[in-house]
Structure 1
Amino acid sequence: MSQPSLDAVVEPDETKGTLRIRTASVSDVESLSIYFTSLSTTTRNKRFMGARADLAVVAAECVAKAGHPDRFTLLAELRQEGQSTIIGETLYAYDAASRHGDFAISVADVFQRKGVGLKMMSAMERHASDLGHEMIAAETARANAEMRGLAKKAGFEDTGLGDWQSVHLAKRLSR
């Protein structure tokens, strides 16, 4: 399986670095756990749609099926002076019964609204399309205006399938 990669220059808080998006592996569990712990409570709650205390377990679950063709986690890393720091992640899993992939995404608080999430979603879509998947969907809280805005910018539409607390978003992938 080829690893999606995307390099771009970002300038958060006047700090220059290179952003690389890559597929996570089992060796990333500790770094991913640290990343999840570093998120603000608000961002963490939005990512997991509620409070989670078992972040090391969540990180392990994100990479547990590394190499499985219908499930992957992408990491956004900022490279500065030879050091790499995770600043975003997206988990993707294909559901054969519903014939679409579901995803969850987070971006470190200081890197939000800087294009990192959109770059990660584009990389995820390309990877899913390369796997032959035709549809991606996600569910988010109605109150999560940031995710709803990001999804709209990425071409997702509200399917109307959510309930009073959630919004269901979907996008057909082009091949």
Structure 2
Amino acid sequence: MSQLFPGAVVEPVELAETKGMVCIRTAGESDVESLSVYFTGLSTISRNKRFSGARTDLSVVAAECVAKSDRLDHFTLLAELRQEGQGRIIGEARYAYDEAVRHGEFAISVADAFHRMGLGLQMMTAMETRAIDLGHELIAAETARTNAEMRGLAKKAGFRDTGLGDWQSVHLAKRLSR
């Protein structure tokens, strides 16, 4: 994709607010520590929204995110900000395909300082593109009814409320097409 960013899954972009390039790439085993640092750096509210509740075992969560990276239908994408030759994770999207229900499920987070810059939508688009390339036709997620940010992002990305949620959650889905 890019000589400067060999692992990029989409063309790297410059976010004006960051004074650096953002590369969206596939996570690997060498990213566990950096991903753990990223999760730790999220605000308590953002961590609770991402994990649907409090989590303290963030290094275990980070390891789980990359554990199945050798399988095509399970992957984690990272948004990495590169400034002055240094990289740091500022977003992640985890995707897993469930053969039994024949759709992919995802979870996503963006570092608090990078909210409302379009990064979440770029990550979702990259994730969807990869799922389409794998031949998947439906992608879904569940979020808390109170998570207005995720619901807004999902709506912007073309997801709809399936009505399958309960009084606390919303189930979102989108048909994928080429």
What is the TM-score normalised by the length of structure 1? 0.96
Higher normalized contact order (CA 8 Å, seq sep 6+, divided by chain length):
1
3-state SS of paired residue (1:6): coil
Alignment of 1:110-121 (within 5 A): 110-121=113-124
Residue 6 of structure 1, CA deviation: 3.1
Look up the match of 1:106: 109
How many residue pairs were aligned? Answer: 172
Task: Measure, in 2, the Cα distance between the counterparts of 1:16 and 1:131.
Answer: 34
Alignment of 1:135-150 (within 5 A): 135-150=138-153
Task: Measure, in 2, the Cα distance between the counterparts of 1:118 and 1:34.
Answer: 23
Task: Measure, in 2, the Cα distance between the counterparts of 1:123 and 1:86.
Answer: 16
In structure 2, stretches of 5+ residues that fail to align are 1-6
* Match of residue 9, structure 1, among 10, 14, 17: 14
1:95 equivalent to 2:102? Answer no
Note if contact 1:90-1:103 (Cα within 8 Å) is conserved in structure 2. Answer: yes
Q: Runs of 4 or more off by more than 6 Å in structure 1?
A: none
Task: Measure, in 1, the Cα distance between the counterparts of 2:177 and 2:86.
Answer: 35
Residue 7 of structure 1, CA deviation: 1.1
1:17-48 Cα distance to aligned partner (Å, 9 max, x none): 11100000000000000000000000000000
Residue 3 of structure 1, CA deviation: 6.1
1:69 equivalent to 2:53? Answer no
Look up the match of 1:152: 155
Residue 5 of structure 1, CA deviation: 2.7
> Alpha carbon RMSD of aligned pairs, Å?
1.1
Letter matched to residue 9 of structure 2: P
Sequence identity (%): 73
Note if contact 1:6-1:22 (Cα within 8 Å) is conserved in structure 2. Answer: no
Task: Measure, in 2, the Cα distance between the counterparts of 1:55 and 1:5.
Answer: 27
Note if contact 2:8-2:23 (Cα within 8 Å) is conserved in structure 1. Answer: no
Look up the match of 2:136: 133
1:64-117 Cα distance to aligned partner (Å, 9 max, x none): 011201100000001111011100000000001111000000000000110000
Letter matched to residue 4 of structure 1: V
Task: Measure, in 2, the Cα distance between the counterparts of 1:102 and 1:6.
Answer: 24
